[in-house]
Structure 1
């Protein structure tokens, strides 16, 4: 027993263990029941069209869904995975995992010296208790794809600021291509595109230059990404037309801003405030609902056992985590909080501009504040630990 205790006391998890920790956490929370899962709710339109009308018919279906450019993603998915629900659920689990990893890499790229905070936030993002649509393995494909590609684009943008010459332009062009790919595949992350200017400000603020030059530098680095966003916006609002008789995802609030600005601004403010509070509270309320703890249920006993096992692993991991001694980047607290608030204010714009809110449907949450709420809670954890 003493040897086991001594082993765990000497055990140290380095930063290279982070992807393993993220995968184990995703597996414990979303992977154990995969053999018993099937297709659910939003999955069925995709399955119906692909199975009964042919995989190519997904173009028609997604035209009616106002996302015609997402058809290639689902057509590729059905050709590779077929109609086996287990295959789709394994794919969805891996999609969540690589998205979380890309999010972690983005944080580490932006804040080179904040290893622990990046880990805390990424672990929290992996299991944040609001986006509960993981069982919709087919229907959530474009959500995970969009978020993953968006993260990659941000990573490349950050790298471009730190690079020079041909390497810089390679990173910029790659980031712009990925920005266009995620925007024209799905509009969920169009609002979050606006956080690029805040990220650029964080990066350029660290340079030795007058404030006026920093502002100009931020603006000129932001222009290419703003142009791509503007092209998408023009295509989505002016060029793209829903099929005849279909009224879906129309930017009604955008039109209202021109005709009834006060009413539109009031709606946007109320939607932001309601969604902000909901995302930060409702998920945690349900996670701690005592009515779910019916110890007579075998399934509840199973959940409690997994939770206890998970808590033990997390405790062991945090207890033997890499040292925090080198994490000295002074801009973390105010800049991470500012980025969180900015993301909260912009992430919901694609939903709010069509006159809806996050609380209406949890599928909207991944493009809004899972990311932003994780910033906020990660900052809280940082303050608490210090």
Structure 2
């Protein structure tokens, strides 16, 4: 009796949404409380808070204006707490999967098991790893949910002729949301006739005619919006140009060969090889932190167990013994999957954008998710005996674990980024407006300098709602177009259009910072570190020519960070180093020494020899020459490349401090250890 009741419950329509929810918790939810904001989340959040709906409208005006309306709606009721946005993105990811499952069940009600596995594969697709970028991708999945809802409504119009106009009206409205929002899923709307054919009971050419007739209103909408986007929307190619069209005009045969190669490679990569990608990801698991390792293994074990249980009880794919019968069962999904893959990549093939795994280009795998899921189930449907279910259990279990591992990577990136801004706040109380902060080799995967410019302004100019942005952050490894900054040329303008605001500065207002954890954030000294080989060569060059530490306003209290950066990290070595370097700039030598005693009493130590420099100066200026010598020798012993830095520091100390026997004795001892000129 219990077993029969369990089987009946597992077969209930509510079961799939619940199982999908549990699997998504394992894939995307275990790290959710520790995730933050990533990539374009930060600019959008800052623009929404600073400039409101008008700012968001300006930001999306040259991108996807209708999509921007969705952001305006979301940001009116969601705050700035990361967990709220993470839950919001999780909800839409789950709802998109449920909507796809309902759609496929309408298309082929005789194959509910295949519909369940396809929706699971779509929801756990391992090629896309940007789910934690919650503000951006919650809205992507809103559009995907609308697209699946449109397909579902058009199928319901066939199933319930008495209400077909209601369902068609709903379907057209939801289709318009997809077509007007973005180009990612635009061409996938052409899959509609293939799905309608599955739901029709007529045969042969009549079946195709009926499918096209039911699709006609949607095709008219598709063509109408397509013509508007191509010929009347002025910003369709504002951000990305259709390079392939230019190449076709110049070298047609070469361009056609390139496109065909891209279609084949990207379809195979995003549609087939993607299911083996988790194996590659999981080989990196031993280098992950202990929390990521434990959570990933828990997710893998739990997902495999749950999928195995459901595969045995409810979702077992029992193939016929003959290959021809298995082929017949697989044909609808193979056809839908192949068509989905061939339609998915055109926004990127036309603009010659790469479709790769890994940030940031894995976002281009989003349109391939549906085709890849259908193709996977279609292919395993060709396998005999119990192999189809077993393969799906293993593939989706590994995909779940890979997504958990990816969330762990995002958690670490958020912590590194939080530490960057807390250390910046400890070291830099305020900045003069117009400052460009220059860095190189940011130790962050899910951020760019464009991302970090938003919190920089949020922290240092929280009350500036004007269209003139006060601060800019530039990574020399990314912004190659800033030729004056790259070359270290003074007296040149620096301008960046942030869409909602404009930054205007000059290369005379530059502050160079260096950040490579576990070392602390450092304000690079342009005099002492002109040949510090611990710095990247280009950053060293720019620092020597342009860096102006006086851009820091030192006579102000520390800034207040946005609430989502709370709580303040514990005060360890980096806190005392930043405070000591700030006190050194204020020439408050007693405070530098007091901070030195506290810092060295921690039992911690510098992770960069340059972190000893302010303490050397503090000891020297307070007459503690033996301590200054000790710290100088410790810094120099790390590597010979520090000798020049230490020597120049002592040249400055000899100029700025009064003569004394202790000073001369310490200097002579230093020269015996380091060959200073």
Q: TM-score, normalised by structure 2?
A: 0.51
- The equivalences for 1:213-224 within 5 A come to 213-224=206-217
Aligned counterparts of 1:353 and 1:296: Cα–Cα separation in 2 = 40
Count of residues in Structure 1 that have an aligned counterpart in Structure 2 = 372
Q: 1:84 to 1:339 in 2, by over 3 A?
A: same
Structure 1 residues 153 and 10 mapped into 2: Cα distance closer, same or farther (>3 Å)? closer
| Counterpart Cα distance in 2 of 1:198 and 1:323 | 26
**Does residue 40 of the first structure (1) align with residue 38 of the second (2)?**
yes
Corresponding residue of 1:284 = 276
Q: Are the counterparts in 2 of residues 115 and 324 from structure 1 also a CA contact under 8 Å?
A: no
Report how far residue 382 of structure 1 moved: 2.9
> Match for residue 199 of structure 1?
195
Contact 1:336 1:379 in 2 (8 A): yes
The question of whether the paired residues in 2 share the 8 Å contact of 1:143 and 1:188 is answered with no
For residues 157 and 329 of structure 1, what CA distance do their matches in structure 2 show? 29
Structure 2: distance between partners of 1:10 and 1:116 = 19
Structure 1 stretch 8-17 or stretch 118-127: which is displaced more? 8-17
| Number of the residue aligned with 1:365 | 365
Matched, 1:306 2:299: yes
Q: Distance in 1 between matches of 2:169 and 2:327?
A: 31
For residues 131-186 of structure 1, what are the alpha-carbon distances to aligned partners after superposition, in whole Å with 9 as ceiling and x for unaligned?
11011001113310111000000011112223325x12222222111111111012
| RMSD of Structure 2 on Structure 1 (CA) | 2.8
How many Å separate the matches in 2 of 1:126 and 1:317? 17
**Is structure 2 residue 6 aligned with structure 1 residue 11?**
yes
Does the CA contact (< 8 Å) of 1:189 and 1:347 recur in 2?
yes
Q: Distance in 2 between matches of 1:295 and 1:30?
A: 17
State the partner residue of 1:58. 56
1:158–1:357 CA distance, 2 compared to 1 (3 A) = farther
Question: Hey, what's the Cα distance between the residues in 2 that align with 1:9 and 1:224?
Answer: 46
Q: Structure 1 residue 301: deviation in Å?
A: 2.5
Q: How big is the shift at 1:259?
A: 6.8
Q: Which runs of 5+ in 1 are unaligned?
A: 1-5
Q: Work out whether residues 156 and 175 of structure 1, in 8 Å CA contact, stay in contact via their aligned partners in 2.
A: yes
Give, in angstroms, the shift of residue 334 of structure 1: 1.2
Deviation at 1:315, TM superposition (A): 2.1
Q: Is the 8 A contact 2:116 2:315 kept in 1?
A: no
Alignment of 1:150 onto 2:147: yes
SS in structure 1 at match of 2:381: helix
Given the superposition, is the C-alpha separation of residues 217 and 321 from structure 1 closer, same or farther in structure 2, using an over 3 Å criterion?
closer
Per the TM alignment, residue 324 of structure 1 is displaced from its structure 2 partner at its CA by 7.1
1:268 alignment partner, one of 241, 248, 259: 259
**Structure 2 unmatched runs, 5+:** 389-677
Distance 1:179 1:10, change over 3 A: closer
Higher relative contact order (CA 8 A, sep 6+): 1
**Partner Cα separation in structure 1 for residue 199 and residue 40 of structure 2:** 40
* 2:313 is the counterpart of 1:320: yes
Distance 1:114 1:68, change over 3 A: same
* Secondary structure of 2:36's aligned partner: coil
| Residues 348 and 162 of structure 1, relative CA distance in 2, 3 Å threshold | same
Q: Secondary structure at the match of 1:139?
A: helix
State the distance in 2 between where 1:335 and 1:257 align.
34
Specify which of 347, 351, 354 is matched with residue 354 of structure 1: 351
Q: Distance in 1 between matches of 2:91 and 2:100?
A: 14
**Contact persistence 1:113–1:329 (CA under 8 A):** no
Residue range with higher mean Cα deviation, 284-293 or 107-116: 284-293
Q: Is the 8 A contact 1:129 1:287 kept in 2?
A: no
- Higher CA-based Rg: 2
Aligned counterparts of 2:342 and 2:327: Cα–Cα separation in 1? 25
1:129 aligns with 2:122: no
| 1:104-253 mapped onto 2 (5 Å cutoff) | 104-165=101-162, 167-204=163-200, 206-208=201-203, 211-242=204-235, 247-253=238-244
Higher helix share: 1
- Decide whether the 8 Å contact of 1:15 with 1:115 is kept in 2: no
Distance 1:169 1:380 in 2: 37
CA separation of 1:312 and 1:216: change in aligned 2, threshold 3 A: closer
Distance 1:200 1:304, change over 3 A: same
| Alpha-carbon offset, residue 94 of structure 1 | 0.6
| Residue 49 (1) aligns with residue 42 (2) | no
Contact 2:317 2:381 in 1 (8 A): no
Partner SS, residue 11 of structure 1: helix
| Aligned residues of 2:334 and 2:375 also touching (Cα < 8 A) | yes
Change (3 A) 1:264 1:224: farther
